[in-house]
């Protein structure tokens, strides 16, 4: 299997590492417009590189392509791959325009060619643990999934430009929208509001509250705030970058049912199952603590399981486990969330 990764500066490097680990890879090529990136990353991973996607497809004819360029470039590259009949795994979001995402999914269906969007949390060990808790009835009937994330990525000027990433739901919160669909099924409507930005170099919202309403009154809620005060003046000083509770940051994903709540803490690498005890002392009790250090693939950014599954399926001629057509449903809610932001919290169905 000849595999190409297009866009190898940032996240593409993690894909290169995952692909190089895959036993059936006979050759791996990194494609990037930037000569400096090609030289540095090519040497680091010991892979050949090239600059141009059309030449990549014409001259090397890869069996599968992974796209990790900026989101605004996804559609162009995915379209070329699909036209050549080459299975493609594209980083999230599918692209920055919903109509174009719909068109790409239709092109892949018609050809047909394998097309998947990289929502790697679907493969994550901690999601599998929560799935198992739900399946065994430990949480009861699930009524709420919620994210509170009070931290933000260190970004360089221009990285969070709207024209590059599409918007905060396209860029970042698409993961949560997709995860909430995974836990709760299809939403009925969504609303999102944003406070004024705290980070000057974000063109997109950086302080967002959102609610997804599901049938039966069930809810998905998101509170997302960047809290990198050192970035307020637009400067990034690497030695001051600290992410974690010690920097006042916070990250918690909860899935609540009528029998208990699963609380996922990625920094402590654990899931607590807590229950509010009405009868005893009106306090939450810790029912069980699951240590994720011993759970395979529990790192939310581990791409290995996703990339290997995608490539295994390409080799055996099977369709992707999570086809882009399903990711498109998440992108449709992402797009409605962006619309609600523009309409100052209007509910969008």
Ligand X SMILES: NC(=O)c1ccc[n+]([C@@H]2O[C@H](COP(=O)([O-])OP(=O)(O)OC[C@H]3O[C@@H](n4cnc5c(N)ncnc54)[C@H](O)[C@@H]3O)[C@@H](O)[C@H]2O)c1
Residues that bind ligand X (CB under 6 A): 6-7, 9-12, 31-34, 37, 53, 68-71, 73, 91-92, 118, 120, 301
Sheet holding 219-225, edge to edge: 189-194, 207-213, 219-225, 142-150, 250-257, 261-265, 270-277, 283-291
Three-class HEC string of 169-211: HHHHHHHHHHHHHHHHCCCCEEEEEECCCCCCCCCCCCEEEEE
Contact yes or no for 104/115 (Cβ under 8 A): yes
Closest approach, Cβ 265 to ligand X, in A, equals 18
Closest approach, Cβ 183 to ligand X, in A, equals 18
Closest approach, Cβ 181 to ligand X, in A, equals 16
Structure tokens at 183: 């836990």
Closest approach, Cβ 301 to ligand X, in A, equals 6
Which one, 257 or 320, has the nearer CB to ligand X? 320
Which one, 118 or 314, has the nearer CB to ligand X? 118
Contact yes or no for 306/120 (Cβ under 8 A): yes
Closest approach, Cβ 68 to ligand X, in A, equals 4
Which one, 74 or 249, has the nearer CB to ligand X? 74
Contact yes or no for 84/176 (Cβ under 8 A): no
Q: Using alpha carbons, list the distances in angstroms from residue 148 to 153, 189, 210, 222.
A: 15, 20, 11, 6
Closest approach, Cβ 153 to ligand X, in A, equals 8
Q: Which residues neighbour 270 within 8 Å (Cβ) at sequence distance 6 or greater? A: 264, 289, 290, 291, 292
Query: In angstroms, rounded to a whole number, what is the distance separating the alpha carbons of residues 147 and 34?
Result: 36
Which one, 74 or 270, has the nearer CB to ligand X? 74
Closest approach, Cβ 92 to ligand X, in A, equals 5
3-state secondary structure of 118: strand
Closest approach, Cβ 307 to ligand X, in A, equals 11
Query: In angstroms, rounded to a whole number, what is the distance separating the alpha carbons of residues 21 and 15?
Result: 10
The answer to whether the Cα torsion of 334, 216, 266, 210 is positive or negative is positive
Which one, 53 or 314, has the nearer CB to ligand X? 53
Which one, 71 or 220, has the nearer CB to ligand X? 71
Which one, 9 or 249, has the nearer CB to ligand X? 9
Which one, 12 or 320, has the nearer CB to ligand X? 12
The residue sitting closest to ligand X, measured at its beta carbon, is 10
Which own/partner pairs from 103-106 qualify as long-range (CB within 8 Å, at least 24 positions apart)?
Answer: 104/75, 104/78, 104/79, 104/324, 105/324, 105/325, 105/328
Q: Compute φ and ψ for 115, nearest 5 degrees.
A: -145, 120
Contact yes or no for 139/257 (Cβ under 8 A): yes
Closest approach, Cβ 37 to ligand X, in A, equals 4
Which one, 118 or 222, has the nearer CB to ligand X? 118
Contact yes or no for 309/318 (Cβ under 8 A): no
């Amino acid at each position: 299997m000849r595999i190409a990764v297009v866009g190898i500066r940032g996240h593409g490097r993690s894909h290169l590492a995952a692909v190089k680990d895959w036993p059936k890879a006979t050759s791996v090529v990194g494609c990037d417009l930037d000569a400096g990136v090609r030289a540095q990353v090519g040497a680091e991973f010991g892979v050949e590189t090239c600059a141009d996607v059309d030449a990549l497809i014409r001259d090397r004819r890869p069996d599968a392509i992974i796209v990790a360029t900026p989101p605004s470039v996804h559609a162009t590259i995915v379209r070329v791959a699909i036209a050549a009949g080459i299975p493609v795994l594209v980083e999230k979001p599918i692209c920055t325009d919903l109509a174009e995402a719909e068109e790409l999914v239709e092109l892949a269906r018609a050809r047909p060619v394998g097309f998947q969007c990289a929502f790697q949390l679907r493969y994550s060990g901690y999601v599998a643990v929560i799935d198992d808790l739900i399946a065994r009835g430990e949480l009861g009937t699930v009524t709420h999934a919620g994210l509170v994330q009070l931290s933000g990525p260190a970004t360089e000027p221009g990285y969070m430009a709207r024209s590059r990433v599409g918007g905060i739901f396209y860029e970042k919160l698409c993961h949560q929208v997709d995860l909430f669909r995974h836990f709760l099924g299809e939403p009925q409507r969504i609303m999102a509001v944003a406070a004024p930005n705290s980070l000057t170099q974000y063109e997109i919202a950086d302080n967002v509250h959102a609610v997804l309403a599901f049938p039966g009154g069930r809810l998905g809620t998101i509170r997302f705030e960047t809290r990198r005060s050192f970035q307020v003046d637009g400067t990034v000083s690497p030695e001051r970058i600290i992410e974690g509770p010690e920097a006042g940051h916070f990250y918690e994903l909860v899935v609540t049912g009528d029998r208990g709540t699963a609380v996922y803490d990625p920094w402590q690498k654990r899931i607590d199952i807590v229950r509010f005890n009405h009868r005893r002392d009106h306090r939450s009790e810790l029912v069980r603590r699951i240590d994720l250090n011993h759970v395979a693939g529990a790192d939310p950014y581990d791409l290995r399981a996703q990339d290997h599954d995608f490539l295994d399926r390409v080799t055996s001629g099977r369709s992707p486990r999570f086809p882009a057509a399903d990711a498109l449903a998440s992108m449709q809610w992402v797009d409605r969330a962006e619309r609600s932001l523009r309409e100052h919290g209007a509910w969008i169905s």
